[in-house]
Structure 1
Amino acid sequence: MLVSFRRLRRCQCVQLMTTCLVLSLVMVYWEQLDNNVVSHVKSVSFRYLVNRFSLVNKSLTIPREQALIFSNFPYLLNHPKICKNQDVLLLLFVKTSPENIQRRKAIRSTWGNQTYIQESLGVTVKVLFVLGATVASDSDSLDPQEQLKFEDKLYSDLIQQGFSDSFHNLTLKLLMQFHWMHHYCAHARFFMTADDDIFVHMPNLVQYIQDVHSKGITDLWVGRVHRGSPPVRSQTSKYYVPYSMYQWLSYPDYTAGAAYVVSSDVADKIYHASLTLNASLYIDDVFMGICANAVGVSPQEHVFFSGEAKAPYHSCIYSQMMTSHGHVEDIYDLWKTATRPQVKVEAPGLIGKLYCSLVKVALLCRPYYVNTYPCKAAFS
């Protein structure tokens, strides 16, 4: 009897210690748990059960005169006639920062080479770099703005407005793009925005949008789609959004801002929506989703638009690649390798397709999450 009592007390002590340990861990990680798990549960519930994004539109609607403060910045560099009298298939804006000179140079020499696109692909694609203003520091030997003017004199492809170029002004940079297209290149059939560390497989992209255009498809907004994403409430995150800026549990559906494509009719709708919406929310891809939701446009998933990671390096991937994220130093090698004519014919026939399917399954369907192409891309 005494032995049983001692065992009972020992078991109770173990249970008590285990409970204390679990509670301690929960208390330590509660904030992270709340931000990452609970917020996602709330967001998905709001997105799929409540789904009252009309309240979001209403809460962010402001008078036109008030909305002008987000877009009424003077142009420091501009080329208003660059699209004039030209049959533009795609107007492609690259979001860049003043100091990223080498990134712009690399893009001009690879996938953004407009001469190559015109001569090899037979279409007109206008590639323009959009940026805000920079401030000279005491350590600068040359005025950064003068450097930009010199660069623009060489290439005539910089579009710059007078707001400060910073992460918290990305939405202003987005508005700048849609306003510029509306005023100076509204006849372009498609619009695309991309980061300056994105690789675009231009031959594949041109073929895709030509097919879309030939089918007369409208209301096109395609990219890597985020559905039911919650606002980040952790103040340590660069994506932190306070309740005062956005009070709702979930964002409307949107595509990753790294790269996406819209048809010209959608670009026009987004422009008009932006004229009456509060653009103080500095997460630009989310603001795009808010504008699109206001005019009834939904994003469409394309499995070969990358998220935040690089696509695997393999010819079976290159044959369908649209975009890949995170390329700076390797952009020259990737361009040379991914656009070789042999890529399309290296694995012909049924055996070749089976081989590429197996390769894509091995590369994309890993047991842990990789934010590049989804597993279903292996079967497309």
Structure 2
Amino acid sequence: MFVNLRCIKKIQIARLLTTGLVLSIVMLCWEDLDHHVVSHVRSYSYRFLVNNHNFLNSSYNLDTNGHRRSFGNSLDPSPLHPYLINQLKKCSNSNDILLLVFVKSSPQNDDRRHEIRKTWGNEDYIQEKFNANVKIVFVLGVHPDLRQRRSQKNVESEAWAYNDIIQQNFMDTFHNLTTKLIMQFHWATKYCPKAKFVMSCDDDIFVHMPNMVGYLRSLEQKHVSNFWVGHVHRGAPPIRRIESKYHVPMKLYPWVSYPDYTSGAGYVVSGDVAAKIYQVMQILNPSMYIDDVFMGMCAQVIGVTPQDYVYFSGEAVTRYHPCIYARMITSHGHADDVRVLWKEATDPQVERMSKGFLSNLYCTAVKVALLCLPHQRGTYGCLGAFT
């Protein structure tokens, strides 16, 4: 057989150049590759092969002297700060509270709070329309900028007018979100212990309250306990890049995988879990400033596993369509369009569209196009098209 040696040399040279180019790209992008690929492989391997986070009990609990162990840039070791504003009567006259909602807000976000009160967080409307006792509480720290402290007077006036703001004396910053989380579960346990379900969410969340009430009532009929539901993150690795907002240094959390947790944008726990979580919060070191991860750590200790429900959003905005509205529970990223979305999502036409065989078939096709096709990236997973 005749072999063209010149052709072989050209092929070898091409392979050599291609290999060199690939290696050069890998070396240049290694940091990103390590973050997005290697760290996730390690984390998922630990999550699905080992699936054991018993180290949390011994590494993050109180030391022998009853003090919280110090981890890196730890927060104030005290789990509680003084209440500047409290609502002692919010739940005192209610013995049958279906849902207590904590909305994590900031002092300057009064416009978001007003929009929520006019839409999905209108307690009177929920009671009248759905015969459901739902309590909405906005959770605040104090403005971190001393020059903006005049806003405190505005917050106090707002709290007096609406009786739905609680505030503790800590800086309202990203790195104090765990402090705000502890505040929520302390308040739920002490001032609203009879609530059947407790929700924590951001102030740019949209909650489809009619669907939420129906969903929780179905759970209530089943007498659920040890219940925690939301958009679940499984096998998530700590982010080690310093420039990231969610950067967690090795000295704070040296392990390769977080326990399973739900997105902090919005999740629900049963009342018994809220009480257990607060008990654990008094034991675990609150140095983990990513609040939804800290929630996962607490739940791991008490043996509560988060359940994923496809219509709880993660960090993205839902696809806008009546077929989506018919089943949605939450959607994240609605700082400016809450009122418009509330009007569209609760339109009576939405309910009519979801009834009947042909309507269900049509909506399934629409949801497949919105949630399942590769070029579409919605808030909900493809499973939502068939749920």
TM class by shorter chain equals over 0.9
Which whole-Å CA distance do the structure 2 matches of 1:96 and 1:339 have between them?
24
Aligned to 1:129: 138
Structure 2: gaps (5+ residues):
70-75
- Paired residue secondary structure (1:132): strand
TM-score, length-scaled by structure 1: 0.95
Which whole-Å CA distance do the structure 2 matches of 1:298 and 1:329 have between them?
34
Aligned to 1:96: 105
Aligned to 1:294: 301
**Contact 2:232–2:307 (8 Å) recurs in 1:** yes
Aligned to 2:330: 323
**Contact 1:198–1:323 (8 Å) recurs in 2:** yes
List aligned pairs for 1:133-212, cutoff 5 A: 133-138=142-147, 140=148, 143-212=150-219
Aligned to 2:32: 32
**Contact 2:144–2:173 (8 Å) recurs in 1:** no
Paired residue type of 1:21: L
Aligned to 2:56: 56
Q: Give the percent of matched residue pairs that are identical in Structure 1 and Structure 2.
A: 53
Structure 1: gaps (5+ residues):
none
Which whole-Å CA distance do the structure 1 matches of 2:338 and 2:194 have between them?
31
Paired residue type of 1:357: T
Whether 1:114 aligns to 2:123 is yes
Report how far residue 85 of structure 1 moved: 2.6
Give the counterpart of 1:76 among 69, 75, 84: 84
TM-score, length-scaled by structure 2: 0.93
**Contact 1:57–1:290 (8 Å) recurs in 2:** no
Report how far residue 5 of structure 1 moved: 5.2
Which whole-Å CA distance do the structure 2 matches of 1:172 and 1:264 have between them?
20
CA 1:65–1:184 in 2, change beyond 3 Å: closer, same or farther?
farther
- The more displaced of 58-67 and 172-181 is 58-67
Paired residue type of 2:263: A
Aligned to 1:304: 311
Which whole-Å CA distance do the structure 2 matches of 1:74 and 1:326 have between them?
31
Give the counterpart of 2:359 among 339, 346, 352: 352
**Contact 2:53–2:259 (8 Å) recurs in 1:** yes
Which whole-Å CA distance do the structure 1 matches of 2:377 and 2:275 have between them?
34
**CA deviation vs aligned residue, 1:139-188 (integer Å, no higher than 9, x gap):** x5x71111111111111111111111001111111111001111111111
Report how far residue 81 of structure 1 moved: 2.2
Number of equivalent positions = 376
Paired residue type of 1:80: L
CA 1:273–1:94 in 2, change beyond 3 Å: closer, same or farther?
same
Aligned to 1:279: 286
**Contact 1:306–1:371 (8 Å) recurs in 2:** no
**Contact 1:220–1:266 (8 Å) recurs in 2:** yes
Q: CA RMSD in A?
A: 1.7
Which whole-Å CA distance do the structure 1 matches of 2:164 and 2:174 have between them?
22
Report how far residue 301 of structure 1 moved: 0.8
Report how far residue 57 of structure 1 moved: 2.8
Report how far residue 9 of structure 1 moved: 4.1
CA 1:74–1:347 in 2, change beyond 3 Å: closer, same or farther?
closer
Paired residue type of 1:320: R
- Paired residue secondary structure (2:54): helix
Which whole-Å CA distance do the structure 2 matches of 1:70 and 1:253 have between them?
26
Paired residue type of 1:290: M
Paired residue type of 2:295: M
Which whole-Å CA distance do the structure 1 matches of 2:11 and 2:126 have between them?
74
- Paired residue secondary structure (2:374): coil
Which whole-Å CA distance do the structure 1 matches of 2:295 and 2:145 have between them?
31
Paired residue type of 1:92: V
**Contact 1:223–1:302 (8 Å) recurs in 2:** yes
Report how far residue 7 of structure 1 moved: 4.2
